[in-house]
Amino acid sequence: WWAAGDRRTHLVGKGVVRFHAVNWPAMLLSAGLPLPTDILVHDYLTVGGRKISKSGNGTSVDPVSLTAVYGTDAVRWWLLRDVPRVGDADFTTERLIARADADFA
């Protein structure tokens, strides 16, 4: 379904642009696979100004726990509504609650 498509968009984080804009396309070319037509680079989600990471640097946010408490819709809505297209977004549960209350209450 994707090989014949006119558009193939690759969405990557700004910390891995070099790999996904240079190495990955080279690997695709060597395998005879179609290249992405677009590479969209997103900035970071942060906590207290530090990048959210699963590597245990103290800034991890468990999405399963978050959605269990606040609901999937509220988390998705915060991501869509409050995360800018350009620039990092700082996450707090207070901001999530404020957005849900303002838009869903």
Helix (H), strand (E), coil (C) string for 44-96? CEEECCEECCCCCCCCCCCHHHHHHHHCHHHHHHHHHHHCCCCCCEECCHHHH
Choose among 1, 21, 18: nearest CA to 10.
Answer: 21
- Residues 28 and 59 reside in one and the same domain: no
Segment (H or E) for 50? strand 50-51
**How confident is the model over 26-72, as pLDDT tens digits?**
999 999 998 999 999 999 999 888 888 877 677 788 889 999 999 99
- Residues 35 and 69 reside in one and the same domain: no
Q: Containing domain of residue 47, as a range?
A: 43-105
Model's pTM, two decimal places? 0.71
- Residues 30 and 63 reside in one and the same domain: no
In this structure, what token pair is assigned to residue 104? Answer: 């869903």
- Residues 54 and 75 reside in one and the same domain: yes
